[in-house]
Structure 1
Amino acid sequence: MTTATAAALLAGCSATTDDFPQLQYEAGAVVDGGGFGNATMNNVMVQSAQEDYRVNLARRFASEIDSTVTFEFNSTVLDADAQRILSRQADWIRQFPEVRFRVYGHTDLVGSQSYNRSLGLRRAQAVVAYLTSQGIGRDRLEAVASFGETQPLIATNDRERRNRRTVTEVSGFVETDPMVLDGIYAQVIYRGYIERAVSPPALGGTEIAAGE
């Protein structure tokens, strides 16, 4: 076999990137359908410092404010205690106009699962309506999930008020907010403390002129 023939055969058998298009792209591109999935979104948020900011705010909200209100059996009515808690939630939420919140509805285990799911959602919607009445923009609030009876605090099939509840949580950010989250959290998370800070009073006494 001549050298020319061997070269021709080798050229015919050699693989190119056209034969294996996945070699032209980064790892994982072949199985990426182009959607912006939760994993990708989480990675972007972490890299841009948004996820740390959200987690820090969520922890602060849970530690400073009662995030839970409870209900009478088979009711969506917000009693005086619930309204007091939600008013404090609204005061806290107003400090952070760039942040969104979700309200999750729950029930006890009495009744059918489908009815309880609907009841939990209506409870979440009642809380959202009250927070809106306190001046919180509706676009910042979501009653998107009702866990119904599936996540009881107290494991019992009987009536249990602590299971008949809603929970308010930090969920993300308002997409149109111009705020830049650049990782300098103290300026934002401790915004209230910074705004209340005052300059120390000037020292009293007689001024000493230069040269004296």
Structure 2
Amino acid sequence: MRISKLFLGASLLTLAACGPGFDQEIGGGATDFGNATMNNTLIQSGQKDYAIALAGRFAREVPSTITFAFDSAHLDARSVSILRQQADWIKAFPEVRFRVYGHTDLVGTSSYNKALGLRRAKAVVAYFASQGISRDRLEALASFGETRPLVQTASPEERNRRTVTEVSGFVKNHPTVLNGKYAAVIHREYIDLARRPHPANQIIQTQTNPG
């Protein structure tokens, strides 16, 4: 009997060490989505997985970063071309929300660069607004200033002077979200793409027609 009690006690201690406490909600260990109740809701509804999938699609299908001239928040022609791609993608998925983060290189004071990074992020959001994207879909607009350089150098570096756009989740109270049709959002554009004729077939057909 004593051996059984010792074995039971050791088992309980092992369980306590390996997992959340008995008074914790399942999912409480996942802190990146807030409290345990919110995390459980996101997982059970599929919203968490689908938001991650959409963010991955955005990162794969369009460039997420634009760069700036030194000490400038002006959008040049190359940046506008990239932002147009981002805007078209975001408009194709009216259910999603997005974030824009501004960055600078390491030249100048920390406070100045913080403000410069914010001006750059605001320039991107203003462009999206000009393309008909509601600011209500903007989840975050922030500046990291000089704190997250891609290249560690004290000299001017274009790759550090950038903004990054991310898809972050779903618009609250959007009809698709309320209906829980997250999978339909993910696969909607894939289905349309599969129905389009393959370019190779068009080439073969052109070559076989009499000239």
Q: If the TM-score is normalised by the length of the shorter chain, which range does it land in?
A: 0.7 to 0.9
Q: CA offset at residue 62 of structure 1?
A: 0.4
- Report sequence identity in percent: 61
* Alpha-carbon distance change, 141 to 196 in structure 1, aligned in 2, over 3 angstroms: same
Q: How does 1:112-191 map onto structure 2 within 5 Å?
A: 112-180=109-177, 182=180, 185=183, 187-191=184-188
Unaligned runs of 5+ in 2: 1-21, 26-32, 198-211
2:92 maps to a residue whose letter is Q
| TM-score for the superposition, normalised by structure 2 | 0.72
Whole-Å separation in 1 of the counterparts to 2:136 and 2:164: 18
Structure with higher Rg: it is 1
Q: Deviations over 1:72-106 (max 9, x none)?
A: 01100000000000001111111111110000000
Cα RMSD (Å)? 2.4
Moved more, 37-46 or 121-130: 37-46
Is 1:84 matched up with 2:81?
yes
Which residue of structure 1 aligns with residue 64 of structure 2? Answer: 67
Contact 1:53 1:183 in 2 (8 A): no
Structure 2 residue aligned with 1:38, among 34, 38, 44? 34
Distance 1:91 1:184 in 2: 20
Q: Which amino acid aligns with 2:49?
A: D
Count of residues in correspondence between the two structures:
168
Residue type of the alignment partner of 1:99: V
Equivalents in 2 of 1:169, 1:49: separation in Å?
A: 20
What's the TM-score once normalised by structure 1's chain length? 0.72
CA distance in 1: counterparts of 2:72 and 2:115, whole angstroms: 12
For structure 1, list consecutive stretches of 5 or more residues without a partner in the other structure.
Answer: 1-25, 30-36, 201-212
| 3-state SS, counterpart of residue 110 of structure 1 | coil
> Any idea what SS the aligned residue of 2:66 has?
strand
SS at match of 1:190: helix
Cα contact 1:124–1:143 (8 A) shared by 2: no
